[in-house]
Chains A and B, each alone.
Chain A
Amino acid sequence: MTVLIPAQVREAMLANAYACHPEESCGLLAGPEDGSIRMAYPLTNVLHSHTNYTIDPTEHFRSLKHADREGWDLIGVFHSHPHTQAYPSVTDVRLAVEPDWLYVLVGMERFDDPAIRGFRIRDGEVIEETLSFEPGPSTLAPYPLPTETVPPPPDRRSI
């Protein structure tokens, strides 16, 4: 089951990541009951840190109110790793409190070719979700648009 990332949501997450670089950027995702993603709210990282983020509580509250008015729930959070991979860090795993949320990481290890991956984080465990990216006009036109992230095949050696 793949999660569709609308073009505008992808652009908003990337723009936020670039605008905040080299600090971590962050924001919330909202959508209706069917689980689709309709809105990305780019919000302030009150820590203004390269390695940590905390979403501004007042902005979180306003996003919640806006989502309520649209009949949506807050269904996820996105943030960037300005220098490292698009994968939850130790801190991300420890501070993830919402078992049903989608945790999207924008990894800027390769500054000109950011990676976007999505995960569920439950009981200290990370489960990757396949994301599919809606094609659409992109401000990053020169760079190839990923069509889908593909998690590794299940027969991989792992614990």
Chain B
Amino acid sequence: MSALADYGIEPTPLVRLERLAPPGIHLFAKCEWHLPTGSVKDRVAAGMIAAAKAAGQLAPGLRLVEPSSGNTGIALARITRLLGIPLTVLVPDNVSEERIRLLQAFGAEIEFTPGSEGSNGAVWRAEKLAEEGGFLMLHQYENAANPGSHQMTTGPEISAQLAELGLGAPDAFVATLGTGGTLTGVGRHFRGLGSPTAIVAAEPPTGELISGLRSLADGYVPPVFDPSVLDGKILVRTRTSIDMTRRLMEEEGLFVGPSSGAAVHAALKFARRLTPGAVVVTLLPDAGWKYLSTGIFDGTIDEAEARALGRTLW
């Protein structure tokens, strides 16, 4: 029974990647699209809401504001609707129609921010609302409940699932680096058990890399992402992510989003350093549905890469 079961967080399947795994390496993947809104962010949203509740922040009259129009926004929209907490999601007015409809379907109120300001614009406007307008902002990049949720759920699930197969702690855990919550939380879980599991990041070439958010008043705000937890960092180019995402579909029959391709590529690359019999676990954040309109599944790899250039895919 999961620590966040009250919020609908149950263990996600751990599947074996038989065809992509190098000879002698046992490669497993957590399939996070089995979570309520279809992404790993369901854990983070649940964790942050649970923490807010424990801190007594969920008082009547509370309104939440959230600048993420992606998986985090969607995950929060679901939970806040179930709890009856109004949520306003700030969305750049040039995001896809799918995103907007998805957020609305889950019950979020949407307010548009200028597309020219990008996602950064949505963030500072959300902070302003939180400061002035009496909204609560959960700050996934600064909220300890983000890695906390992974330490409470993801890490223990992996340990239990491997134990069922008669395996001990994995030799490596590989995941994409966004907020750094997954790597930090799972890393702390394995460190806490004294396991020598290597924690490896798949790093995107573009996207909102935020490490070390700072504020004048505090001098330095400890980031969600604890770099000391990492044993390796592998940069994965957009083209490579797309290529591996397609291979996951073609060779393993898994329909996943591009960050999953990045994670598996990094996992395979890291696995080359390991001895036969090694166990590697990776995490696949979401499925491919949301990305159909980005064209990464269509045409040649060159065409797909060209369409993807300049976009933040993950």
| CB-nearest residue of chain B to A94 | B215
Q: Chain B interface: which of A5-13, A31-39, A45-53, A67-75?
A: A45-53
The 18 sampled A-B contact pairs (Cβ below 8 Å) are A49-B211, A51-B212, A84-B209, A85-B120, A89-B120, A90-B123, A90-B124, A95-B216, A124-B124, A124-B131, A125-B128, A126-B117, A128-B116, A152-B115, A157-B112, A158-B113, A159-B90, A159-B112
Q: Which residue of A lies closest to B117 (CB)?
A: A87
When distances are taken between beta carbons in the complex, the residues of chain A under 8 Å from B205 are: 83
Choose from A49, A128, A156 the contact partner of B212 (Cβ within 8 Å).
Answer: A49
Query: CB distance A51 to B115 under 8 Å?
Result: no
Inter-chain contacts of B125 with A (CB < 8 A): 159
The one of A52, A85, A88, A158 in contact with B124, judged by C-beta atoms closer than 8 angstroms, is A88
Q: Is the CB of B206 within 8 A of A84?
A: yes
Q: Which of B96-155 contact A (CB under 8 A)?
A: 111-118, 120-121, 123-125, 127-129, 131, 141
Give CA–CA (A157, B117) in the complex, Å: 13
Q: Tell me whether B206 and A91 are in contact (CB under 8 A).
A: no
Q: Please give, as numbers and ranges, the residues of chain A lying within 8 Å of B213 by CB-CB distance.
A: 90-91, 94
| Minimum Cβ distance to chain B for residue A110 (Å) | 6
Distance of A14 Cα from B250 Cα, bound (Å): 42
**Which of these, A52, A128, A157, A158, contacts B214 with CB under 8 Å?**
A52
Binding site for B on A (CB under 8 A): 49-52, 83-85, 87-91, 93-95, 97, 109-110, 124-126, 128, 151-152, 156-159
Chain A binding surface SS class = loop
A90 is contacted by which of B113, B114, B209, B210 (Cβ under 8 Å)? B210
A residues less than 8 Å from B216 (CB atoms) = 94-95, 97
- Taking a contact as CB atoms under 8 Å apart, the answer to whether B114 and A156 are in contact is yes
Within 163-215 of B, Cβ neighbours of A (below 8 Å) are at 204-215
Chain A residue at minimal CB-CB distance from B112: A157
In the complex, are the beta carbons of B215 and A95 less than 8 A apart?
yes
Q: With contacts A83-B204, A90-B210, A95-B214 known, what are 12 further pairs, Cβ within 8 A?
A: A50-B209, A83-B209, A84-B208, A87-B118, A87-B120, A88-B124, A89-B123, A125-B128, A152-B115, A156-B114, A157-B112, A159-B112
User: Given the complex, which residues of A lie within 8 Å of B10, measured CB to CB?
Assistant: none
Task: Check B93–A157 contact: CB distance below 8 A.
Answer: yes
Residues of chain B lying within 8 A (CB to CB) of residue A151? 116
Contact A125 B93 (CB under 8 A): no
- Chain A residues with Cβ below 8 Å from B204 are 83
Complex CA–CA separation, A85 to B309 (angstroms): 13
Which residues of chain A have C-beta atoms less than 8 A from B215's C-beta?
94-95
Q: Which residues of chain A come closer than 8 Å to B121, judged between CB atoms?
A: 87, 126
Pick the 6 closest A-B CB pairs, nearest first: A157-B112, A87-B120, A152-B116, A93-B124, A94-B215, A83-B206
